[in-house]
């Protein structure tokens, strides 16, 4: 019996290193994520957003404007603290702004992307949707996620979201915050802001940050004069502020969209 017990203890002792190795492998796997088409890369608390982006970025071409108007818009964002993009749906306002923010994050020029929009859509508000605030607002940022996934890779985007490097929130949650240095802020659907909301948002702007405000002044879902139209009138001529207006000829989504908007706007 003594020999059998000693043998069992010896066998148990021999198995321990293997068990520890398996446990270590499981832990390592938990710290990894796999992006289709990219190598599996170790990530830890010290990994920067730029490193995560480069590690998992799909092989895509650099951001290229699709027409002269988009080129002027992108150049304006690069060269100004505050840029307004106004004009019809399908002109590429959101894509240019979010893709450029992704480019800045990947290059390490910024540390954080903040995505905001008013929680008003075709007359409905967040209270009509089920779930907590994050769940409710997630439906408002799907378009942002699609662009970011395309430009950075889904794995890198998930990493940056978990570590608050990419933050999305309703406009109301911007109160009391300051957009600090190395932050890229994008406000979408700004035509659905009130005067008070737009004033609150604009007064969040800190030093050395990028802010882009997009919207179609003609497509507001609020009854009073919208904050975007008011702001464009007020800030015109201020230094480090650029107002870019897209036209119907700049629509790149599809020829059909352009024709449909023509029917709705000019019929």
170 in the same domain as 216? yes
CATH label of the domain that carries residue 56 = 3.40.50.300
Say if pTM beats, i.e. exceeds, 0.95. no
Identify whether 40 is part of a domain.
no
* Predicted pLDDT at 9: 53
250 in the same domain as 198? yes
List helix spans (H) across the chain. Answer: 2-30, 49-56, 68-79, 93-107, 133-138, 142-152, 154-162, 195-202, 227-235, 255-266
116 in the same domain as 23? no
Identify whether 37 is part of a domain.
no
Rounded-to-integer distance, Cα 108 and Cα 47, Å:
12
What strands lie across the sheet with 210-215, from one edge to the other?
Answer: 166-170, 112-117, 183-187, 210-215, 82-86, 241-245
* Predicted pLDDT at 113: 95
Identify whether 86 is part of a domain.
yes
146 in the same domain as 20? no
Q: Which domain holds residue 26?
A: 2-30
197 in the same domain as 161? yes
Cα-Cα-Cα-Cα dihedral sign, residues 62, 71, 241, 94:
negative
226 in the same domain as 100? yes
Identify whether 180 is part of a domain.
yes
* Predicted pLDDT at 171: 87
* Predicted pLDDT at 139: 63
75 in the same domain as 24? no
Identify the segments of the chain with pLDDT beneath 50: 12-15, 18, 25-45, 122-126, 128-130, 133, 136-137
* Predicted pLDDT at 46: 53
238 in the same domain as 161? yes
Identify whether 44 is part of a domain.
no
Identify whether 35 is part of a domain.
no
Identify whether 124 is part of a domain.
yes
Identify whether 11 is part of a domain.
yes
* Predicted pLDDT at 57: 53
* Predicted pLDDT at 129: 47
- Give the count of domains, the chain: 2
């Amino acid at each position: 019996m003594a020999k059998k017990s000693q043998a069992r203890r010896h066998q148990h002792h021999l198995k321990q290193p293997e068990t520890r190795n398996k446990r270590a492998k499981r832990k390592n796997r938990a710290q990894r994520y796999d992006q289709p088409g990219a190598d599996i890369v170790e990530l830890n608390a010290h990994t920067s957003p730029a490193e995560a982006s480069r590690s998992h970025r799909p092989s895509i071409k650099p951001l290229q404007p699709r027409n002269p108007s988009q080129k002027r818009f992108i150049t304006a964002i690069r060269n100004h603290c505050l840029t307004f993009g106004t004009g019809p749906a399908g002109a590429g306002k959101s894509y240019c702004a979010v893709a450029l923010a992704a480019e800045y994050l990947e290059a390490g020029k910024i540390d954080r992307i903040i995505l905001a929009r008013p929680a008003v859509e075709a007359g409905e508000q967040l209270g009509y949707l089920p779930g907590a605030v994050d769940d409710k607002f997630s439906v408002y940022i799907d378009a942002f996620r699609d662009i970011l996934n395309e430009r950075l890779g889904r794995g890198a985007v998930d990493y940056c979201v978990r570590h608050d490097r990419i933050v999305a929130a309703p406009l109301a949650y911007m109160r009391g915050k300051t957009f600090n240095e190395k932050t890229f802020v994008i406000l979408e659907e700004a035509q659905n802001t009130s005067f008070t909301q737009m004033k609150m948002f604009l007064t969040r702007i800190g030093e050395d940050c990028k802010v882009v405000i997009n919207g179609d002044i003609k497509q507001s879902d609020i009854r009073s004069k919208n904050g975007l139209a008011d702001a464009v009138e007020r800030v015109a001529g201020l230094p480090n502020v650029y107002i870019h207006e897209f036209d119907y000829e700049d629509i790149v989504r599809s020829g059909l969209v352009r024709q449909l908007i023509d029917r709705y706007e000019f019929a």
